[in-house]
Amino acid sequence: LAATHVIRHLSSQLIEAANKNNSSYNSALTTGGTLLTHQVAQECYFDFKINAINVSLDGPKEVHDSRRGGKNGKPSFDTVVSNLESIINDSSLDNLHLAIRCNIDSRNIARVPELISFLSSMNWQKRVELYFVPVHSWGNQTNTDIRLSIEEFAGQEILWFEQMIGAGFTPS
């Protein structure tokens, strides 16, 4: 979202091309969420035709903030949660699909249940999709020390799904 001007420019071109061809256009966005203010979400949804936004939250506050600071290096969890809360509370954005993506590795796997409990306490079950993604290598030697085996991730994911269902989330 730091390049909103690029999104604005490309979206207008793509929307215009779709209109010229009697076609529909919509898009999705993945973000860290610090710049996803209520106003930006409205602009994304109404002007840019972005109908789905994925926001990364990599654990409860302490874990997330140790992994994802804002551009200024300051903690970002509270900002992201506040931004999401303002979007969730705007009924004009009810059709904007919101998802929280939690990137999982050996450093945060044990803390996922706390994140599920926190999101449940926010009463976001009916409005926000929650999903988990294992951290993996992109073909180089990065992340080799923190990656999980497929079996370890899958075994925990089953437990998280059970907790999510118990809390009223619909696992995807």
Taking residues 9-29, report their average pLDDT: 94
Arithmetic mean of pLDDT over the chain? 91
Give me the pLDDT at residue 71, please: 65
Contact 41, 93 (CB under 8 A): yes
Contact 132, 160 (CB under 8 A): yes
User: Has residue 122 got a pLDDT over 80?
Assistant: yes
CA nearest neighbour of 115 among 77, 82, 87: 77
Give me the pLDDT at residue 140, please: 60
| CA neighbours closer than 13 Å in the CB half-sphere of residue 99 | 18
Contact 34, 76 (CB under 8 A): yes
User: Has residue 15 got a pLDDT over 80?
Assistant: yes
SS3 117: helix
Give me the pLDDT at residue 142, please: 60
Contacts 24+ apart (CB under 8 A), 14-18: 15/48, 15/49
**For 47-98, how does the pLDDT look when each residue is reduced to its tens digit (9 = 90+)?**
999 999 999 999 999 999 988 776 677 899 999 999 999 999 999 999 999 9
User: Has residue 114 got a pLDDT over 70?
Assistant: yes
Taking residues 151-167, report their average pLDDT: 95
User: Has residue 39 got a pLDDT over 90?
Assistant: yes
pTM for the complete prediction? 0.89
